Structure 1
C-alpha cells in the first residue's frame, strides 16, 4: 500500500473540511467542485483527480466520519466501546448512531438512495455484525440478526428524513424498545 505524502494528506484534510463546511451551510445540493477547489486553494483538476466527481467527494466526507464512528464503538471507552454490559453498549451504540446519522443526513440520504442495495454496504454490515454480537451475548435465545436489522431500520436516512423525528424522539423510542429487550 502506498503511503500518502504529507502535503497530499494536508490538502485532503483541508478539502474535506471545506466540503463539510459547504454541506453544513448549503446542504448537499450546494456542494460544487469549483467552490470547494477555490476555498481549498487547489485546482479543480486536482479535486477531480482526487475524488472523481461530486459524489466521490461526498462519499469521502461520509467515509471520514464513518471511520471515527467505527473506531469509537470498536475500541473507544465504555459504554459505547468495550467494557460495558451488552445491553448498555447497544443503547450507547444506537444513541451514537442517531447522532452520526443526523450529523450527515443529507450525505447519507444521497448515499443510501444511490442504488437498490446502496444502504447495505460496508458500514451497515459493520453495524449489523456489532449489534448482532451484542444481542447474542445478552440474549442467546433471540434471533440476533433479525433484532439487529429491526433496531437499525429506524435509522435509514430516507426514513429519518421522511418521518421528521428529532434525535431526542428517536433515542427515546430506542430506550423504550431496549427496556423491553433488556429488562432490569
Structure 2
C-alpha cells in the first residue's frame, strides 16, 4: 500500500472511530455535555485530529447526524419494504417513524441540538429552523407519504408536527429514561389516527343525499 493510500485509509478509520465514539457518548450525555477532548480520548485519536476533521463540536454533531441519516435514506430509497419502496404509503410512513425514532434515540438530543443551532448560531434569514438537510429529507419523505395516503390532509404541516415532537425537552427526557420504544409506539398511534380520521371523513355516505 502506498503512503498516500495508507493515509486515506487511516483518515477513514479515524473518522469512523470518532463518529462511533461520539454516538456512544451521546447515549449517556446531551451534546452540550460532551467535549472534543472526551471524543478524542474515546476514539483513541488526538484532539487536533477531531478539530481538523470536524472544526467544532457542532460540526461533529452535524456530521454524525448526516452519517446516520444517509444510512436511513439509503434504506428508504433502495431497501426492502416496508421502509423501502414496494409497500403501501401507510406502512412505509409507520416504518419510517420507527426508524427516525431509532436514530434520535441512539443520538439523544442531537436533533434538538441541530434545531437550536439553526435558530441561534446564524441569522434567521441565513439558516431558518428546519433548514438542516437531514430535517429537510425527513420532512419531505413524511409529507410525500401522507399526501399519497390521504391527499385531503395538510401533509406539510402534519410532517412538521410529527417531527417537532422529537425536539421537545419532555421527549428528550423520555428517551433518556426509557429509550425509544414508547415514543415510537405513540407516534405510530398518532399517525395512524390521523390517516384513519381522514379516510373516515372521505368515505361515501351510502343511502344519504350529499
How many aligned residue pairs are there? Answer: 182
CA contact (8 A) 2:54 2:60 kept: yes
Please give the alpha-carbon distance, in whole angstroms, between the structure 2 residues aligned to 1:88 and 1:170.
13
Summarize the Cα distance change of 1:77–1:52 in structure 2 as closer, same or farther, 3 Å threshold. same
1:46 alignment partner in structure 2: 49
Q: Which runs of 5+ in 1 are unaligned?
A: none
1:124 counterpart = 2:131: no
Q: Does structure 1 residue 107 correspond to structure 2 residue 110?
A: yes
User: Which ranges of 4 or more aligned residues in structure 1 deviate by more than 4 Å?
Assistant: 162-165
| Match in the other structure for 2:96 | 93
Q: TM-score, normalised by structure 2?
A: 0.72
- Could you say what the CA RMSD is over the residues aligned between the two structures, in angstroms? 2.9
Which among 129, 138, 158 is matched to residue 149 of structure 2?
Answer: 138
Structure 2 residue ranges without an equivalent (≥5):
120-127, 204-210
CA contact (8 A) 1:113 1:119 kept: no
Are the aligned partners of 1:33 and 1:44 in contact in 2 as well (CA < 8 Å)?
yes
Q: Quote the residue 2:167 is aligned against.
A: 156
Which 10-residue stretch deviates more, 170-179 or 54-63? 170-179
Q: In 1, Cα distance between the equivalents of 2:199 and 2:11? A: 48
- Once the two structures are TM-superposed, the CA of residue 141 in structure 1 deviates from its matched residue by 4.2
User: After the TM superposition, which of the residue ranges 170-179 and 51-60 deviates more from structure 2?
Assistant: 170-179
Cα deviation 1:67-103 (Å, max 9, x = unaligned): 1122222222111110001122122222222332322
Equivalent of 1:26, from 19, 24, 29?
A: 29
